[in-house]
Amino acid sequence: MSATTLRGVGIVTLVAAALLGSIYALGRSLLPEQQPRSSAVTAGADAPRYADQAPGADDTPGPTAGTPGPTADSSPSASAREQLPAGDGEGPFGSLTTTGSSRIALTFDDGPDPQYTPQVLALLRNYGVKATFCVVGENVQSHPELVQAIVAEGHTLCNHSWDHDESLGQRSSATIRADLLRTNEAIRAAVPGAPIAYFRQPGGNWTQPVVSVCRGLGMAPLHWAVDPSDWQAPGATRITSVVMNETGPGSIVLMHDAGGDRAGTVEALRRLLPELMARYQLEALPADAT
């Protein structure tokens, strides 16, 4: 083949290749654009975010920086409380706030106290009224004769912790149990065989662990419906007014016979008893609550 012929074939080949390239580029431009693949997952505006997705077994998020994680003694959060099983009552964590009848129950916390408990007992005796005394273990140990008087006069006993620890419910179940058992032992040392049917958490700071422990020990969690805040010593008139205005059929009324100056409570009780008895029947909570 001559040189001239070879040159002609090369030119034709180059022209053909150029034409094929142009046709290919034109065809690509007419196809829909493809999105590039990526190993990263990017959520769109309407796609679920990570926080909205249920974590799997290996991707449970931990506490964020600056937020403490749960501890053995921590109390349940508000959202956790809503999921906890209810007890028999209508108070926090199923605690009792009513007597379950039309009768009302007077309860006295923080004793026994050598100055004020005998005055409360005398007034109740004069009116023939039975009540419920929520006693503190260390006070029971110091004044067993007053616990004996409470039981001898037909009143009901309630465990109110060893030393009125308002944070008791936030402690471990073992710590809670030891506290309640220690208090029960002090009560039984003073009045062997006396039933202890109730536990009242100091400050009303209930948690599921403290309710579980007290129920496990055969005690019902005892809350209240009427609180005149007499522990703040607002005076007899204020205490009387709150109790009379807020008490209704079945109310459990909270007052104190110890823990400070309770002269106002004693005077309020003196005024309240005839008024309450004119409207309601008063009772001690039953000793076989659980």
43 part of a folded domain: no
* Cα–Cα distance, 228 to 231 (Å, whole number): 8
* Cα–Cα distance, 125 to 37 (Å, whole number): 87
34 part of a folded domain: no
How many domains does one find in the chain? 1
129 part of a folded domain: yes
Question: pLDDT at position 28, please?
Answer: 45
Catalytic center residues: 109, 256
CATH number at residue 129: 3.20.20.370
63 part of a folded domain: no
85 part of a folded domain: no
Residue 173 contacts residue 213 (beta carbons within 8 Å): yes
Reading the block at residue 70, the tokens are 């749960």
Q: Could you report the per-residue pLDDT of 60-106, keeping only the tens digit for each?
A: 333 333 333 333 333 333 333 333 233 478 999 999 999 999 999 99
115 part of a folded domain: yes
Range ranked top by mean pLDDT from 27-36, 48-57, 71-80, 200-209 = 200-209
Can you tell me the mean pLDDT for 4-30? 50
Residue 249 reports pLDDT greater than 60: yes
Question: pLDDT at position 122, please?
Answer: 98
Residue 228 contacts residue 238 (beta carbons within 8 Å): yes
Reading the block at residue 279, the tokens are 């409207």
* Cα–Cα distance, 248 to 235 (Å, whole number): 22
Q: Map residue 200 onto helix, strand or coil.
A: coil
2 part of a folded domain: no
* Cα–Cα distance, 167 to 187 (Å, whole number): 22
Average pLDDT of the chain is 80
144 part of a folded domain: yes
* Cα–Cα distance, 234 to 192 (Å, whole number): 37
Residue 223 contacts residue 200 (beta carbons within 8 Å): yes
Residue 244 reports pLDDT greater than 50: yes
Question: pLDDT at position 3, please?
Answer: 52
Q: What is the band of 248 on the pLDDT scale with cuts at 50, 70, 90?
A: very high
Which structural domain range is residue 214 located in?
90-279
Which of these, 70, 46, 116, lies nearest to 269 by C-alpha position?
116
* Cα–Cα distance, 214 to 63 (Å, whole number): 31
Q: Could you report the per-residue pLDDT of 168-178, keeping only the tens digit for each?
A: 999 999 999 99
